[in-house]
Structure 1
Amino acid sequence: MGDDNDNNNNHHESPPPYAPYVDPQLTAESGAVHTDGRIDVNLDSKFAKSLAEIADQQQEVTPGHYYDDTTPAQSISCDVKLNIVIQIVGSRGDVQPFIALGNALQRHGHRVRIATHDVFADFVRDSYLEFFPIGGDPAQLMAYMVKNPGLIPQIRTLREGEIKKKQLMVAEMLDGCWRSCIDDDPVSQEPFVADAIIANPPSFAHIHCAQALGIPVHLMFTMPWSSTRAFPHPLANLHSTSMNARTANWVSYGVVEWLTWQGLGDVINRWRATIDLAPVPGTEGPCLAEALEVPFTYCWSPALVPKPWDWPAHIDVCGFFFSDPSPYTPSPDLAEFLQAGPPPVYIGFGSIVLDNPQKLIDTVLAAVARAGVRAIVSKGWSELAGPVDANVFYIGDCPHSWLFQHVAAVVHHGGAGTTACGLLNARPTTIVPFFGDQPFWGNMVAQAGAGPDPIPHAFLDPQNLAAAIQFCLTPGAIAAAEEIARRMQTESGVEEAVDSFHRQLPLDRMRCSVMPDQVAVWTYTQARQSLNLSKTAVNILIEHNRIDAANIRCHAINPIIIENRRWDPLTGVLAAAGATGSNMMKSTGEMFYNPYKEFQRGRRAGKSSEDRRVIGGAGRPPTRSSTSSLSTQPSTQQQQQSSMRRSSNSSEQSQNPFTTAGHMAGGALQGVGKFYGNYLRGVMIDIPHAAAEGFRRAPQLYGETPKDYGTVHDWRSGAIVGGKNFVGGMTGGVAGFFTKPLKGAMEEGAPGAIKGFARGTLGLATKMPSAGIGLMAYPFYGLSKSIESAFRSKTPKVIVTARLREGYAHTRIMQLSKEEEEEVLQVFDVLVSSMDA
């Protein structure tokens, strides 16, 4: 991920997304992971070939869906003021660009909260932004990355128990991200509820928080994370096969996402249960952001990496985020060194921690001498230092934005921020990548001609480093860097990112019906018609008895429905049956494990009770006088003794063998209940629904776009979709059987008629079964959704309470005049009268 483009050299580099564990079979089949964090993607694996088929189908079914580079992005004015939470996991360098973004959003009137690691509290608040701690330690993340620089942990890490620690840290950060959306400010105690979320992908909670709140989410990142045919995933190594190169690039994103989800899926789904969200299906988790078309803004310069042609309109490339540099005065010895000769070459590797820093500094000094240049060497986290040399200056903390103006070229590890800062200052760049996306940026710089090919740190030696430095000093490299800088200086990455964020907002759904410049957070329903109302409008209307609080509910600005998509009936039914079987096996295990757990609990309770009796009988029994004196003790002591007696009685009861046996029987029955519950759900709901969906989507296998009848989220929508699918499937299957041969004959003659007959027959064989099965499957599936929602009421109540509290506080701050309140009432009355009419 990114690093600080105006940083002190000892700041952390953040890791790529964490994957505490993966499916060994999938990993072995799909890709092998190197110690530099990159993945050798096996393009001949079944998984990769399946992804390639999907890529080819998408290219065939949705022509014209891809980005048109000739269409300029349009700016949009957003007069609705929002509460925005920006969730960031990573290093200081990952946080800093969002500081600049947050300040820009503030200038547009939004309230901005930065939610990130606790250690950045002062950094955020010093920038006049609100801060919310999400937990997690960047130093530990960096240490983990040093051991495991990629997505897959090394064997040594498994033995040392690091996986469990990282799972716990990710779970802590997921919970922290959720609380950042609804909790009061930790310092001022001012209520806050998010109206929109901006996040970098490794925060992982973003989509799920947005789903729970029904609000927009927008992802921003410094490295490619969206599938494209233009170039492979930054963490993927592709090897030449018979697969088309562009298809292979697209496949690499699926493999990396799949491996990431394998490590995080269980952690995320366990956390989703705590906020009353259903688990994400294993087939949907890896591609969730793309399936939901979540808006994405990439924070790099299109002068370096243009937007790929196959990224749709909801993905933007806006430019690097640069904040205004702070004033800096160099030390006298640094100023003297800069004036003592020609501009030096900067060499630094930031927060990279090396096992053998002496070897690296020896290599650097030998290369500097061999290239015949002067150098400024950044000590960094590895404390690089060598003997005194008139041509070498060792530097500690110094902002890159100032330093890079005074050097001839830069050599570094390839963090996005450092790369951007060097190029903005027109400095040719040599990148020595260590892990993550660093090789990607090295390749991009080399392709632009602003530097040599990247030199992996394991292959660095005085000869190739000296040759790279000399390449950077050539007229061609200097001219290429100057051209990139010229184009970058015309960009305004932060403002363009703000425009991108505003442009992707569903503003029509966000506006209050009564106060259009405020965001709607409530829906008021009357006579089957509804109004979207802001928190201020609702408070005024309730205060003046215009509405009853019982008739309002939270307004879902951006409903997110995660479907378990089926590609064809065979794989759909097999997947549903497999999931049902897996759940039944788990419940079978509970039939035996639950009684054992209750038995062990009874034994522990009995042992604890016996220990207390031994301790309690260690002295003389209390005499009558002592007992009498006890009755005169303060009530708190009496309560403590009473509590101890109750605890003792409870323990006596727990160790009773009949009680323990009852608990064991109850545990076994609980497992039996889950077993039959999973069986009935699978047979009556999941498998029929998978079959209906699989048959409905089957026409895409032969090039026909399947009909979309909407999504099922409750019993009502289930009945509607079932009815539409029945009518559409029956009429479409029968009509296609006759019309497709005729259409084919008219277009291509006899061969066309044969093709049309085949397609018509396939349509009849898929659409009619979907219609028949779906007539019951979709309503049952919707009914199950409604029942599940009824039991998941805790989090919605929490959100309502938080919204009401924040609304009252907001109304007090606004302090509308009587005239303004009267205007709100009048507009509401007019709207309600039109609803009644």
Structure 2
Amino acid sequence: MGKSPTPDREPTPEQPPPAYSPYVEPRLAAELGDVQVDGRIDVNLDSELAKSLAKVAKQQQDLSPAPEYDEALTAKGIRCDVKLNIVIQIVGSRGDVQPFIALGNALQTHGHRVRIATHDVFENFVKESYLEFFPIGGDPAQLMAYMVKNPGLIPQMKTLRSGEIKKKQVMVAEMLDGCWRSCIEDDPDTQEPFVADAIIANPPSFAHIHCAQALGIPVHLMFTMPWTTTRAFPHPLANLHSASIANVDAKTANWVSYGVVEWLTWQGLGDVINRWRSSIDLAPVPRTEGPCLAEALEIPFTYCWSPALVPKPRDWPAYIDVCGFFFSEPSSYTPPADLAEFLQSGPPPVYIGFGSIVVDDPQKLADTVIKAVEKAGVRAIVSKGWSELAGESDANIFYIGDCPHTWLFQNVAAVVHHGGAGTTACGLVNGRPTTIVPFFGDQPFWGDMVSKAGAGPDPIPHASLNPDNLAAAIKFCVTPEAASAALEISIKMQSETGVAAAVDSFHRNLPLDRMRCSIIPNQVAVWTYGSKKESLNLSKTAVSILIEHNRIDAKQLKCHAINPILIENRRWDPLTGVMSAASGTGENMLRSTGEMFYNPYKEYKRGRAARAAGASGSSQDLSRSTSSTEPASHSTKSPSDHVQSQSSPPALNRSTSEQRQDSFDTARNMVGAGMKGFGKFSATYFRGMVVDVPHAGAEGFRRAPQLYGEKPKDYGTVSDWKSGIKVGGKNFVGGMAGGIKDIIQYPIQGALADGKDGALRGLTRGALGMATKMPSGE
């Protein structure tokens, strides 16, 4: 990977926008905080949800000390000799797709087959980089328009009234389906078969974990903004004001902000995702598990920013890496004569541009820029961008259209832009002081990070932008202090190899031992042959050869799940566990009850529609036969014959017989539909009463010791009846033994430490242990 950024051209209408922010009903967020003009959430840390998350954060901190941290990646130059089919799923703008182009090309050098799955409009962009392309649907232009009007998690009322929310949910459903097809369908152009062996995705694509679960393959997330809970800094979409953290320490407040944002996101998309999961034969994700699902499953994550700007937080585990921005070798560029002449005619100018941002009043923004340049006393290159900032070029201001930032930023004194991660990276790697005017998303976060590093002033929210504060920001950027800070960051970034480090991170987190074919080691195993004690993991090629030479029995082949993913419905205590399971059972029973009555009605309506269509067809046939065989004016039949022919024509006699059969079929289908609904109702009831509720109670009792500071034992996960018996047996023995041990051990320990008082405290704790662990074993 080179040290210069990927050519970052100004967007055109063929290069649209970022991913939309999910919808949640405003009343659900009212308690959590207010929404600012930039879409960020003012998190109310006094809300019930925030308080609950703070308690969880405290318990987690007490029970789980911060993981060991290493500034460098734990391994470099990882050798991966297994050749994989990798699909990279991306939802967003051209700026979101562009880093993964560099990554895809790097993965190709390791012998992998790489498919980029993203919006249709980026097909040429992907194919020009010699990568395979798969369209997932979704209209980036509509997503951009939605983001500009609704920059955060909560949409405006006019958006609710216009029905855009439903349209966006339909679009998300389309993209989820497109992401699934990108894992299993042939190449759209060459028809070459493709089945993914691994998935790389940015979080807003949302399908990643679920596709990986359905296929049993590894998944790796990569992104340019923080998405993992940390105490180091708040979520980029959350505002934490000092007044709201009076009763909560700042680190806990940061941790809570991620839970709040994730909860709001899942409230908007959970139903859409679960409906789609059912279409690929996956069970719904429990409501309590949807938020922070990637963290619960410990999905590997690579962050594509420079640790020189934002170091890796110390509470992030080893499977999360901060690798550096993704850069690639720039293409050659020759500037037009008038631009070259402007650059040579005076001191280096300041670049000002807002990329694909579309504002309501572009002329007002252009006037603000012109006045600020005049007040700051500098020369400027102004990018027209999507807003088409208009003006006449003169001695001090030059307007440009499409121009690669890679080249341009080497020839300016400072940069002013909206704060996209790619543009921020390009400015800093070239050592240019930066002013960020954020509009939405992670842009305020990058503005804050640049400011804290001293490479630019505090970010100026676009709603607050005026000639005075923009001029002051530009003056700050041209100071020696800002230039020195930007140069220091640039020197550190020059030594980073973001793409190569990301490839190493991806390879390091692969379960290579489970992926490798036992006979052809550089191929991926997709089948298992033999018994559990003695088995072979075989690739498709190996199986074909062995079957062709009659070396194995195809009936003994089983699908090999490389990376099984089990989404558990974790319980925190017996009371909430039982209530949650009972609530879920009741909801499913209510849905089944509705199906007992609604499904027969649907069958009745379907039967009526079929009979109406049949009757219409018979009438038309009779009309056609009557008119074509014998016009009434030439009829030779007697009146009685005519009446007889009209009263019982053969066609209608046949239709009546079919009608009776149709009525019988409809009645039969209605009964069947009703019985099917009753069957689901009965199955739901017995599963809930016999399995779900008791298991939830037992699991709640097992985890209850964490409520008084003791880490509960993990007896494994249940994936089938065999593992269920095994886990249940361990839980029974461990629960009974643990309860008896606690009632004996803690009083003795307390008495030895603090005498009578200690013995009483130990007796209380031992009684709690017995009251929770023994019911868990039962």
Q: CA deviation at 1:624?
A: 6.5
Structure 1 counterpart of 2:529, one-letter code: Y
Query: Residues of 2 paired with 1:716 and 1:294: CA distance?
Result: 26
> 1:410–1:182: structure 2 CA closer, same or farther, 3 Å change rule?
same
- 1:723 pairs, out of 704, 708, 729, with 729
The answer (yes or no) to whether the contact 2:76–2:501 under 8 Å persists in 1 is no
Query: Residues of 1 paired with 2:714 and 2:471: CA distance?
Result: 60
Q: CA deviation at 1:31?
A: 3.2
> 1:188–1:645: structure 2 CA closer, same or farther, 3 Å change rule?
farther
Aligned to 2:292, the other structure's residue is in SS state: helix
In structure 1, the residue matched to 2:92 is 90
The answer (yes or no) to whether the contact 1:9–1:378 under 8 Å persists in 2 is no
Aligned to 1:29, the other structure's residue is in SS state: coil
The answer (yes or no) to whether the contact 1:83–1:193 under 8 Å persists in 2 is yes
Query: Residues of 2 paired with 1:770 and 1:758: CA distance?
Result: 19
> 1:625–1:674: structure 2 CA closer, same or farther, 3 Å change rule?
same
Structure 2 residue 757 is the aligned partner of structure 1 residue 757: no
Structure 1 counterpart of 2:550, one-letter code: N
Q: Any residues of structure 2 matched to 1:607-622 within 5 Å, and which?
A: 607-612=612-617, 615-619=620-624, 621=626
Structure 1 counterpart of 2:337, one-letter code: P
Query: Residues of 2 paired with 1:508 and 1:106: CA distance?
Result: 21
Query: Residues of 1 paired with 2:549 and 2:206: CA distance?
Result: 43
In structure 2, the residue matched to 1:134 is 136
Question: CA offsets, 1:732-770, max 9 Å, x none?
Answer: 111121012223334455444333222211110011111
Structure 2 residue 691 is the aligned partner of structure 1 residue 685: yes
Structure 2 residue 721 is the aligned partner of structure 1 residue 712: no
- 2:116 pairs, out of 111, 114, 117, with 114
Question: CA offsets, 1:684-734, max 9 Å, x none?
Answer: 111011001000111111111111111111111111111111111111111
Q: Any residues of structure 2 matched to 1:52-71 within 5 Å, and which?
A: 52-65=54-67, 67-69=69-71
Normalising by structure 2, report the TM-score. Answer: 0.92
> 1:700–1:482: structure 2 CA closer, same or farther, 3 Å change rule?
same
The answer (yes or no) to whether the contact 1:115–1:132 under 8 Å persists in 2 is yes
> 1:546–1:650: structure 2 CA closer, same or farther, 3 Å change rule?
farther
Q: CA deviation at 1:39?
A: 1.2
Q: Any residues of structure 2 matched to 1:357-756 within 5 Å, and which?
A: 357-526=362-531, 528-612=533-617, 615-619=620-624, 621=626, 652=659, 656=663, 663-756=669-762
Q: CA deviation at 1:190?
A: 1.5
Query: Residues of 1 paired with 2:391 and 2:521: CA distance?
Result: 65
The answer (yes or no) to whether the contact 2:18–2:96 under 8 Å persists in 1 is no
Q: CA deviation at 1:104?
A: 0.7
Structure 2 residue 79 is the aligned partner of structure 1 residue 77: yes
The answer (yes or no) to whether the contact 2:435–2:473 under 8 Å persists in 1 is yes
Query: Residues of 2 paired with 1:653 and 1:266: CA distance?
Result: 42
> 1:678–1:526: structure 2 CA closer, same or farther, 3 Å change rule?
closer
Structure 2 counterpart of 1:716, one-letter code: K
Question: CA offsets, 1:5-39, max 9 Å, x none?
Answer: 6123437564455424x255532222333342211
- 1:321 pairs, out of 313, 321, 326, with 326
> 1:393–1:727: structure 2 CA closer, same or farther, 3 Å change rule?
same
Moved more, 528-537 or 39-48: 528-537
Aligned to 1:30, the other structure's residue is in SS state: coil
Aligned to 2:526, the other structure's residue is in SS state: strand
> 1:550–1:598: structure 2 CA closer, same or farther, 3 Å change rule?
closer
Question: CA offsets, 1:238-287, max 9 Å, x none?
Answer: 23331111111111111111111111111111111121111111110111
> 1:99–1:653: structure 2 CA closer, same or farther, 3 Å change rule?
farther
> 1:612–1:702: structure 2 CA closer, same or farther, 3 Å change rule?
same
Q: CA deviation at 1:237?
A: 1.0
The answer (yes or no) to whether the contact 1:221–1:299 under 8 Å persists in 2 is yes
Structure 2 residue 339 is the aligned partner of structure 1 residue 334: yes
The answer (yes or no) to whether the contact 1:6–1:325 under 8 Å persists in 2 is no
Q: Any residues of structure 2 matched to 1:227-376 within 5 Å, and which?
A: 227-239=229-241, 240-241=244-245, 242-376=247-381
Query: Residues of 1 paired with 2:234 and 2:653: CA distance?
Result: 65
Query: Residues of 2 paired with 1:515 and 1:380: CA distance?
Result: 52
The answer (yes or no) to whether the contact 2:618–2:652 under 8 Å persists in 1 is no
Question: CA offsets, 1:436-462, max 9 Å, x none?
Answer: 110000000000000000000000000
Structure 2 residue 109 is the aligned partner of structure 1 residue 103: no
Question: CA offsets, 1:474-531, max 9 Å, x none?
Answer: 1110000000000000001000001111111112222222233332222111474212
The answer (yes or no) to whether the contact 2:19–2:91 under 8 Å persists in 1 is no
Moved more, 589-598 or 349-358: 589-598
> 1:607–1:153: structure 2 CA closer, same or farther, 3 Å change rule?
farther
Q: CA deviation at 1:672?
A: 3.4
Aligned residues: 751
Q: CA deviation at 1:175?
A: 1.4
- 1:767 pairs, out of 737, 762, 773, with 773
Structure 2 counterpart of 1:532, one-letter code: N
Query: Residues of 1 paired with 2:755 and 2:476: CA distance?
Result: 63
Query: Residues of 2 paired with 1:694 and 1:224: CA distance?
Result: 32
Taking every aligned residue pair, what percent have the same amino acid on both sides? Answer: 72
In structure 2, the residue matched to 1:197 is 199
> 1:80–1:595: structure 2 CA closer, same or farther, 3 Å change rule?
closer
In structure 1, the residue matched to 2:157 is 155
- 2:22 pairs, out of 3, 19, 26, with 19
Query: Residues of 1 paired with 2:532 and 2:315: CA distance?
Result: 46
In structure 2, the residue matched to 1:29 is 31
> 1:527–1:729: structure 2 CA closer, same or farther, 3 Å change rule?
closer
> 1:645–1:355: structure 2 CA closer, same or farther, 3 Å change rule?
farther
> 1:441–1:64: structure 2 CA closer, same or farther, 3 Å change rule?
closer
Structure 2 counterpart of 1:594, one-letter code: N
> 1:732–1:274: structure 2 CA closer, same or farther, 3 Å change rule?
same
Moved more, 65-74 or 450-459: 65-74
The answer (yes or no) to whether the contact 1:348–1:378 under 8 Å persists in 2 is yes
Structure 1: gaps (5+ residues): 627-643, 773-837
Structure 2 counterpart of 1:704, one-letter code: E
The answer (yes or no) to whether the contact 2:26–2:154 under 8 Å persists in 1 is no
Q: CA deviation at 1:74?
A: 4.5
The answer (yes or no) to whether the contact 1:4–1:418 under 8 Å persists in 2 is no
Aligned to 2:30, the other structure's residue is in SS state: helix
Q: CA deviation at 1:600?
A: 3.8
Aligned to 2:199, the other structure's residue is in SS state: strand
Aligned to 2:313, the other structure's residue is in SS state: coil
> 1:484–1:748: structure 2 CA closer, same or farther, 3 Å change rule?
farther
Query: Residues of 2 paired with 1:180 and 1:571: CA distance?
Result: 39
In structure 2, the residue matched to 1:803 is none
Question: CA offsets, 1:275-324, max 9 Å, x none?
Answer: 11111111101111000000000000001000011111010000000111
The answer (yes or no) to whether the contact 1:114–1:124 under 8 Å persists in 2 is yes
Moved more, 152-161 or 343-352: 152-161
Q: CA deviation at 1:650?
A: 10
RMSD: 2.4
Aligned to 1:505, the other structure's residue is in SS state: coil
Query: Residues of 2 paired with 1:760 and 1:179: CA distance?
Result: 54
The answer (yes or no) to whether the contact 1:428–1:472 under 8 Å persists in 2 is yes
Query: Residues of 2 paired with 1:228 and 1:650: CA distance?
Result: 72
Normalising by structure 1, report the TM-score. Answer: 0.86
The answer (yes or no) to whether the contact 1:83–1:196 under 8 Å persists in 2 is yes
